[in-house]
Amino acid sequence: MRLILSSIILLGSHFVNAQCTSTGATNGSIFYNNLAVGTVTWNTPSNATSSDNVRSISSVYLGVFSSANTYYLLASGYGFSIPALANICGIKVDIEKRYQTIGLFSSVTDNSVKIVKGGVVSGAERASGSAWSPSDAYSSYGSNSDLWGLTWTPSDINNANFGVAISAKLSAGLAALTLNAEIDHIRITVFYNVPLPVTFKAFNGEPMQDKIKLSWTTATESNSSHFIPEKLNPETKEWEGLGRVPASFNSSTDQHYESFDNSPGSENFYRIKEVDRDNRFMYSKTISVQYNPANNLLINTYPNPAREFINIHSSLPIKSLRMIDISGKELLNTGMSILQKDYVIPTSKFPRGMYYLIVQTGNKFLSRKIIIDK
């Protein structure tokens, strides 16, 4: 026995939510000394705007084996414009710096590196224990997944008072000397994603009588307005809408939808366009559905459950009928001497129970589940 199968090809069967992207690295525009830590001033803080070998310098004369910390060099005014619906994934800061001195066992290291939120130096400490290099080199703090121990909104990042603050520790060795901590450039990169308004879980198409049924499921929806099933016109190569299906607005549970193409061709390409209430939109993946009118055998059986008779109506002339019980035993196998579309089977010879009716039209077969309830 051959069963009729619809041909469905899913092109790209997974629906992927938004991935983190980056904006930057961006230069600041506001630089100043913040006195929350340290005692040593940064001269001309704005020299850290760009990598141009014009540096902000903090200089101090130290005695043998003594040390001092600088004020925070605070950089802000980065001018980010993160989308309002974005989720912040991480913040990375790159600082181009060096130290200048002569003396055995002298060094410059990070004293403190913290993020600036709302104009306040805060968050997790990101200072490195490594000594600064005597030549210009970038050091990175944070990453594409590091939030510096804080929670963030796009407005926090976009605010002019968002930035970073760095304080250096200058340490003398075996001789009294002057040490310089020098910063040439401070840049920030922000990583974020914008959540997709809808997470598609499934999208399928199947021939049904003289049309194709499209069905899709969403796992989540946010601010969704409606869906527009679209079909690719094979002549113009343009996508054409097949109607409008209302969406669920906001949902965190599976939502199921369906629509129909009443004029399918032999090969059909479909996608679903989701439209937000603010007119943003996105697309599902594309599926291809094969359609052959000769395959779309329609069989109606009634009543079901049946008591005295099983009435059968076929869209094509019936060639043979078979009845099989749930154990697989064949109880009826009859061929038609005269092909016809309607047939009646008395139930008197069949015990109460469930059966499978197999209808043949030409070389096509279709099965129906039949309940006999006397």
All domains of the chain in start order, with CATH: 7-17+196-293 (2.60.40.10), 21-193 (2.60.120), 297-372 (2.60.40.3080)
Q: What tens digit of pLDDT does each residue of 197-216 get?
A: 898 999 999 888 778 999 99
How far apart are alpha carbons 70 and 34 in whole angstroms?
A: 10
pLDDT for residue 317: 86
pLDDT for residue 254: 94
Alpha-carbon distances of 362 from 188, 298, 341, 365, rounded to whole Å: 72, 13, 12, 8
CA torsion 246→249→253→258, rounded to 10°? 10
pLDDT for residue 60: 95
**Which residues sit opposite 205 in a β-bridge?**
214
Can you list the residues of the chain whose pLDDT is less than 50? 1-18
Identify the residue whose tokens are 């790159």.
94
pLDDT for residue 297: 62
pLDDT for residue 294: 60
CA R_g for the chain = 36
SS3 358: strand
* Phi, psi (deg, nearest 5) at residue 323: -120, 130
Are the CB atoms for 52 and 224 separated by under 8 Å?
no
Q: pTM score > 0.85 for this model?
A: no
